[in-house]
Structure 1
Amino acid sequence: MTSHTARTALAEEIARVVREVPGVAFLRPRLTGLLKPAVVPGPTGSGSATTAGVRLREDEAAGTWHVEVRLVALSGDRVLDVARAARRAVEERLGALLPGCAARAHVTVTVTGRV
């Protein structure tokens, strides 16, 4: 089981990596992110943490991570290309940070808008 602090640090690192992807305007928080502070821990022992537009969930039984990224793309870039680049960046960063878990990570990138 990963500690809350470690999950939060991982979510912050993923958010940083996604913000650096060309074509990403910003990360899009969920409604709860707009109503609560930027970091919202899940229920104790749930294995989830949310920071801005990144949500992490660790499935301890299966030994996998579920990473959900919600972002807004720049209007001059193809949305599909931005989403693919963001997903690839997250997968590569997970591979560097969690070598044993990266292959079993499920990364979803949703583009919620364009500016």
Structure 2
Amino acid sequence: MSAPANDESPAYATLVAEVALAAESVTGVAFLRPGLTDRLRSALSRSGGASPAGVRLTRPDGDGPWCVEIHVVALRRARTVDVARGVRDMVERRLDALLPTGVGPSTPRVTVTVTGLV
């Protein structure tokens, strides 16, 4: 999969969905945290090509590495630090498999925030 040029492209939507699936598959993750726009979207019953809750991918300078922000809610029985590290590692591995090598900076910057416990 090539790196999409903007956040409206199908490749971008696929990349975000893959990152979300990777994050949700980590032991100790209850769910990805919905943001305000996700709550409004569900209240207004709009659907479509919306990004999964809790995942944001950007490229601040256009050609640089991806900046990936993930917000998760963890299970109370899991150690928060282990959940955050596990999500970061899983997402980095998934991105390594999806993003082409040799095209610009290939190491994405992944930030994981545990926003709550259930």
What's the TM-score once normalised by structure 2's chain length? 0.80
SS at match of 1:52: coil
SS at match of 1:104: coil
Q: Which runs of 4+ in 1 moved over 2 A?
A: 37-40, 58-63, 99-104
Which of the two has greater strand per residue?
1
| Residue 79 (structure 2) pairs with residue 75 (structure 1) | no
Q: What is the total number of aligned residue pairs between the two structures?
A: 106
Structure whose alpha-carbon radius of gyration is higher: 2
Q: CA RMSD in A?
A: 2.0
What's the TM-score once normalised by structure 1's chain length? 0.82
Partner of 2:117: 114
SS at match of 2:76: coil
Q: 1:29 to 1:96 in 2, by over 3 A?
A: same
Partner of 2:58: 57
Q: Per-residue displacement from partner, 1:47-96 (whole Å, max 9, x unpaired)?
A: xxx32111111245442101110100000000010000000000000001
| Alignment gaps of 5+ in structure 2 | none
Partner of 2:39: 34
* Structure-2 separation of matches of 1:59 and 1:2: 13
Partner of 2:19: 14
Query: Shift of the alpha carbon at 1:20?
Result: 0.7
